[in-house]
A and B are shown apart, each in its own frame.
Chain A
Amino acid sequence: MIRVLPPEVVNQIAAGEVVERPFSVVKELVENSLDAGARKVVVELHDGGKERIVVLDDGAGFTPADLQLAFVSHATSKLGELADLDHIASLGFRGEALASMGSIARATIRSRTEGDDSGHEITCEGGALGEVRPSGCPRGTRVEIADLFFNTPARRRFLKTGRAERARIQELLGRLALARLDVDFTLMADGGEALRLPAGESLRERLVRVVGRRVADHVVEVDRTWGNLRVHGLVGRPEIARRDSSLALLWINGRLARDRGAQASIRQAYREFLMHGSQPVHFLMVEMPPDEVDVNVHPAKSEVRFLDARRVQGLVHEAARTALTAAGERPRTGAGAVQVGEGKPRALTGLPSLPGDLFGRDAGRVSPGGGSRVAGIRARADSDAELDVGAPGSAAPERSAPPSTVEPGDTEPSPAREPVFARIAGGRFVQALDLYWVFATDDGLVVVDQHALHERVMYERLRARHDASAPTIQRLLVPEVVELGAREKAWLLGHAETLAAEGLLVDDFGGASVAIHGVPAVLSRVRPRSLVESLVGGLDDEDAEALPRLREAVVERFHSRACRSSVMAGDRLDDREVEALLEEASRCEHPHNCPHGRPTVLTFSGEELERFFKRTC
């Protein structure tokens, strides 16, 4: 017999799509609170939310009439008619959330609006809706969801331990909070305070509390605007790249979102900085008119679709790349801590001027005779005052000045610093293992990998030369015909004009084939077929830009050439060669990584050295 399912069963089933676990309850409720204009949100969990979840806010609240409808499916104050779907500026908009919760838990909403003298409450237990009753409460809304899935035991069995559910919720709350610095967030768990994020703190400060100091210390600020599109936030320096993409976060109009295209173009910006397989860390907020983005794609609302995806991709790419470039110097682990720390004194500044004494002036005297070798380590022996960073009254004050401005006791973060290579160029160093150069500076020990650095310098040289010359085409006498998938072919031909400007000439050869008539002359030794195949390979987005992909192929060639023509580990260099290389490196665009993403220079700060020597207590 076929029966129409009673509405409460329909609700239970639908609820599963919205409410899977305590995490989703908290997400929906906190988003509701934020939509209601709350400045303060408190989340209380008991046994990770399996026993009870309470979300308390000081937002607009429900009128008694609103409360009556709160648990009714598709009742939402946020969407009146379909046309409104075009202007979704609030986080929750489907009116499913509360109805779902009411059908699979014991839910209570207690709320008072600004204009009401007293509050009201309503309950809904397993879909059984109660009456609206008066109830005293402050302005705002308190939603309590108890005994989640009490009437659907099968679902309840799928919940994880309270601790695991809580961890997910804490992560979620942190992420929601990163986009709303104006809101005060508190997470209480089993009576104790688990997370407190006061309103008004900076993104960086909030990051310290949400993901930890190490990440917060290694991020760079970004803010770019392009017409009505703005991207701002923080991008992580390459050294905190991760194996997974869990900290590659993007918010679209305050909503945590996934967008493969945008995410991919950010990764692209990082390409030169990261080793293969690493994922960047970033916290980027994209703001755009609501009618240019479709958030109604995914039931969990985490996938979005843009009207003009390329513009968004272009801007996030540019934002990330500019920030990384501008960041220039590798951070020193110790220094950043001062900016966001809680008044912890900078360890380094408490030390006597370590560098000069260890390897500076004195080193020159320790090994007399110039360039003598002691156990494979050669001290730089010429005590030319001009090249001596540490020497007082140095003849090159513009070089030695910046480090010396960091006086002991100076707890202010130092202003924009001179890039590391400019600072160490001319400084004293020792060559170790015929591969590393060790510099002692006011910031600690700076260690340079000669091969990686030379590779970077050669790479930028080749690239600059390439960029300066007009693209040339090696035309093919016999066109090479390549068969492609329909999507790849359409994409390639769609970009044919752009590609032609860079030297790749392709046209339709009928059927599934394209004919290649010319390749960039710089790639004339690469097989045309493999060039095109690599261009369309892994194409997962029709909106992908063609030019970056082609340039990537060109750049790939420079990588290997730069590597081949660079000094190797084991090549002992003359001091003058080292000088020249450092000097050129200081003018490089991205001197801190070799083209394969390995670091060229590491700084061991005073703080780190202290840690190694267990001086911190």
Chain B
Amino acid sequence: MKILCDRQNLQDAFSVVGGIPPQKTPKPIVQNVLLRAADDRIVFFATDFELSARVTLDSVKVLRPGEVLLPAKETSALLRELSEPTLALESEEHRCKIESGSGSFVLVGDDPNEFPAEPTFDGTRTFKVPSAVFLEMVRRTSFAAAREETRYAINGLLLDYDAGNLRLVGTDGRRLALTSAEIEGGDEPARAVVPIRTLHSLLKAVGDDGDQDLEITLGNSQIAFSLGDVEMISQLLENRFPAYEQVIPKVADSTIEVDRSLLEKNLRRVAVLSSGDVRMVRFEFKSSSLELSAESSGVGRADLSMDASVDGNGGKISFNPDYLLDALKVSDLETIRIDMTDDATPARFSLGENYTYVLMPISGS
């Protein structure tokens, strides 16, 4: 195999798949990225068995077709460091020589024939959504999903489609983020739980530019995302997502409106003094103000008052400030609405068009 190509293009393409190979694995061959060159185009393919990604680059000159494996980590690092506009890649046996200006680098891969084959995909059901819309939906919900591996079912986001409406839901049992959008996808309802890692990789691979449609195809145990030159196939998680609709409070004693960016700033300020063993900020809603306070025993105390329009009796409620900041950060509203009842009932935050966040308070015993 021998190719000539633009360095930047190659680097961009490589970065789509470069994050997929696992850092630690008992099967080290998957720490490589497969490069296949034919017909004046190259394809990079990487997999960790659960998630596979493929990217095609056609602005290259293929002098001799062939395949080679590139060690993912070293190749990423090398491409970042090189600055010549063009590169020449040539493989011999299982090595790949990269020439750039006066530099010559030989990367030792492995036998491409041993590399896992691209997965076969069983999906038929296709949805289309502008990529920028979908990525924003992921950003609004993914932080709320559980990080821990073992709460398997909710270590991912729920895609819940019904009659032209796609909902994305993330929860870790303490909070829940829900967002929705109108998309094309037919009448049949559909549900799937997609691993967080897959969605993070998608965010990285696709970027926000362009109004291209992202094509989502759903299979029995797999999901595929396709956008331009990039295609990803991922396993789905077991579909055991909590009944999220029951968790969202329908009624509340008080409804409060408050400036979002001011709340975010003030919450950060007050949270400085909640850094003890329990991260907790107290909210007290009075008739036209919100009093924030926090105390870290032996360290100090913070009190802060800000305007709020309170409809109802108000009252006291405490939250882990990190949980709320995560959501305030991705909200784009000027004024948000909070619906609360008491310190044992979830509070509901309306943070944007079709964007709801539910947070469980911290209470005394």
Instruction: Please list the residues of chain A having a beta carbon within 8 angstroms of any beta carbon in chain B.
Output: 461-462, 465-466, 468-478, 480, 500-503, 518, 521-522, 524, 527-530
Contact = CB atoms under 8 A, between A and B. Distances in A.
B297 A465 contact: yes
B278 A476 contact: no
Contacts of B150: 527, 529-530
Contacts of B279: 521, 524
A475 B278 contact: no
Given A474-B320, A522-B278, A528 B364 contact: no
B358 interface: yes
B277 A477 contact: no
A522 B174 contact: no
Interface string B136-180: 000000000000101100100000000000000001011110000
Contacts of A468: 297
A87 B151 CA distance: 55
Contacts of A472: 278, 280, 318, 362-365
Residue among A470, A473, A474, A503 facing the most chain B CB atoms (10 A cut-off): A474
B362 A478 contact: no
Judged by DSSP, the binding face of A is mixed
A529 B154 CA distance: 14
A469 B358 CA distance: 27
B78 interface: no
B103 interface: no
A529 B171 CA distance: 16
Contacts of B318: 472
8 contacts: A469-B278, A472-B363, A474-B174, A477-B360, A478-B242, A501-B365, A521-B279, A527-B151
Contacts of B362: 472-475, 521, 524
Contacts of B175: 477
B249 to A, nearest CB: 10
A550 B154 CA distance: 26
Contact of B363 (A461, A475, A528): A475
A256 B247 CA distance: 57
Contacts of B278: 469, 472, 521-522, 524
Interface in B338-365: 344, 346, 358-365
Contacts of B148: 527
Nearest to A504: B365
B365 A478 contact: no
Contacts of A476: 173-174, 360
B298 interface: yes
Nearest to A526: B148
Nearest to B299: A465
Residue among B276, B344, B362, B364 facing the most chain A CB atoms (10 A cut-off): B362
A529 B151 CA distance: 9
Given A465-B297, A478-B247, 11 more contacts: A461-B298, A465-B277, A465-B298, A470-B364, A472-B365, A475-B362, A477-B173, A501-B365, A503-B365, A521-B279, A527-B148
B112 to A, nearest CB: 41
B365 A462 contact: no
Top 4 nearest A-B pairs by Cβ distance?
A521-B278, A478-B242, A475-B360, A477-B360
Contacts of A529: 150-151
A502 B297 CA distance: 18
Contact of B320 (A500, A502, A524): A524
B276 A465 contact: yes
B173 A502 contact: no
B297 A469 contact: yes
A477 B280 contact: no
A473 B174 CA distance: 11
B326 to A, nearest CB: 14
Contacts of A478: 154, 171, 173, 176, 242, 247
Contacts of B280: 472, 521
Nearest to A468: B297
Nearest to B243: A478
Interface in B253-278: 276-278
A473 to B, nearest CB: 5
Contacts of A470: 364-365
A528 B173 CA distance: 10
B265 to A, nearest CB: 24
Contacts of B360: 474-477
A406 B127 CA distance: 88
Given A465-B297, A477-B358, A524 B365 contact: no
Given A521-B278, A521-B280, A475 B297 contact: no
A473 B365 contact: yes
A477 B178 CA distance: 14
B282 to A, nearest CB: 11
A315 B363 CA distance: 33
Contacts of A527: 148, 150-151
Contacts of A475: 174, 344, 346, 360-363
A530 B247 CA distance: 23
A518 B360 CA distance: 10
Nearest to B151: A527
Contacts of B359: 477
Contacts of A502: 365
B155 to A, nearest CB: 11
Contacts of A466: 277
A503 B298 CA distance: 22
A136 to B, nearest CB: 76
A471 B151 contact: no
Contacts of A501: 365
Nearest to A530: B150
Contacts of B171: 477-478
A473 B297 contact: no
Given A465-B297, A474-B320, A524-B174, A500 B277 contact: no
A473 B297 CA distance: 17
Contacts of B277: 462, 465-466, 469, 522
A501 B242 CA distance: 27
A521 B344 CA distance: 13
Given A465-B276, A472-B362, A480 B173 contact: yes
A522 B274 CA distance: 12
Given A478-B242, A521-B278, A521-B280, A471 B365 contact: yes
A477 B365 contact: no
B325 to A, nearest CB: 15
Interface string B50-63: 00000000000000
B68 to A, nearest CB: 43
A470 B362 CA distance: 12
Nearest to B175: A477
Contacts of B365: 470-473, 500-503
B327 to A, nearest CB: 13
Contacts of B174: 474-477, 524
Given A465-B276, A478-B247, A522-B278, A473 B173 contact: no
Nearest to B154: A478
A550 to B, nearest CB: 12
